[in-house]
């Protein structure tokens, strides 16, 4: 249980995918202009990321590793899985909730190319890239906890940042700093704040 908690905390805060690892910055700056769309994007990412990691874990354990082709084939294989999953999620949402589909329509296909999903899946099944102070070789349960942590970390930061940007838009700042320049500075300061979590519980 303690190991699961540490895996979650490491993925959620200490090695936050956006502010510490600087992965998926495209969607971070693209979708965080509006509070509501950032919530929609977060929900989609949590769903797709969790499913993608679970399926990729299975593909790695039962197909790529036993056949000895995993080392050089895992990225195309995972991209294939993620793209198929996004298509599947799109079909399900279109059928089940047309309203949600309309609201998220633009962002759903974006998730296919969201590097965060690929990074989370890779780290779940082939850990080492993020250099955590934890023993690797995750089980399926640990892999899912890790992915949920990453996805919630992404959601926390993008929603928090969207709230900040809505205030920054109406703040009296110099014209040359409006828009992306001030957003990059705000993201940098938030990143510094998240560095404060480093070393928590020895992770």
Partner 1 sequence: MDTSMIVKASIALGGTGLIMGGLLAVASKVFYVEVDARVELIRAVLPGINCGACGLPGCDGAAEAIVAGEASNTACVAGGSDVAKQIGALLGMDVSEVTGVANKALVRCGGGKNEVAHRYIYDGQHDCQMAQQVSGGPLLCPYGCLGLGSCITSCPFVAITLGEDGLPKIDWDKCTSCGACVKACPRGIISLVAEDKEVHVLCRSHNAGKEVRAVCKKGCIACKACEKVCEFDAIHVIDNLAVIDKDKCTDCKKCVEKCPTGCLADLTATRG
| Interface of this chain with partner 1, residues 163 to 192, rule: CB under 8 A | 170, 172, 175
Q: Which residues of 152-164 are buried (b: 16+ CB within 10 A; e: fewer)?
A: bbbbbbbbebbeb
Helix 35-59, helix 140-169: angle, nearest 10 = 160
| Binding of residue 67 to partner 1 (CB under 8 A) | yes
Helices (H) then strands (E): counts for the chain: 10, 0
| Binding of residue 131 to partner 1 (CB under 8 A) | no
Find where tokens 């990691």 sit: 53
Binding part of the chain for partner 1, among 14-22, 27-35, 71-79, 109-117 by CB under 8 A, reads: 71-79
**In contact, 190 and 28? CB cutoff 8 Å:** no
Binding part of the chain for partner 1, among 26-34, 44-52, 82-90, 111-119 by CB under 8 A, reads: 82-90
Strand, helix or coil for residue 174 = coil
Q: Cβ closer to partner 1: 40 or 153?
A: 40
Could you say which of 26, 34, 36, 87 contacts partner 1 (CB under 8 A)? 87
| Binding of residue 91 to partner 1 (CB under 8 A) | yes
| Interface of this chain with partner 1, residues 99 to 118, rule: CB under 8 A | 102
Nearest distance in Å: CB 71, partner 1 = 11
| Binding of residue 81 to partner 1 (CB under 8 A) | yes
| Binding of residue 98 to partner 1 (CB under 8 A) | yes
| HSE-up of residue 164 (Cα within 13 Å, Cβ side) | 19
Q: Could you tell me the CA-to-CA distances from 120 to 23, 31, 98, 114, 128 in Å, in that order?
A: 10, 20, 29, 10, 12
Find where tokens 């905390």 sit: 9
Could you say which of 2, 95, 99, 176 contacts partner 1 (CB under 8 A)? 95
Residue ranges in contact with partner 1 by CB under 8 A: 59, 63-64, 67-69, 72-73, 76-77, 80-81, 84, 87-88, 91-92, 94-95, 98, 102, 170, 172, 175
């Amino acid at each position: 249980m303690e190991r699961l908690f540490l895996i979650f905390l490491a993925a959620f805060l200490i090695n936050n995918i956006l502010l510490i690892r600087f992965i998926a910055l495209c969607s971070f700056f693209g979708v965080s202009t509006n509070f509501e769309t950032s919530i929609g994007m977060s929900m989609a990412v949590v769903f797709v990321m969790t499913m993608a990691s679970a399926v990729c874990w299975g593909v790695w354990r039962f197909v790529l590793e036993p056949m000895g082709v995993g080392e050089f084939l895992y990225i195309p294989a995972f991209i294939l899985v993620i793209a198929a999953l996004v298509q599947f999620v799109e079909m399900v949402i279109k059928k089940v909730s047309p309203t949600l589909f309309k609201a998220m329509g633009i962002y759903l296909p974006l998730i296919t190319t969201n590097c965060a999903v690929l990074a989370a899946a890779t780290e779940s099944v082939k850990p080492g890239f993020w250099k955590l102070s934890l023993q690797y070789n995750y089980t399926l349960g640990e892999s899912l906890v890790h992915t949920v942590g990453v996805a919630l970390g992404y959601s926390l930061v993008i929603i928090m940042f969207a709230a900040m940007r809505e205030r920054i838009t109406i703040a009296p700042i110099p014209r040359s700093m409006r828009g992306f320049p001030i957003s990059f500075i705000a993201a940098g300061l938030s990143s510094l704040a998240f560095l404060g979590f480093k070393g928590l519980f020895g992770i």
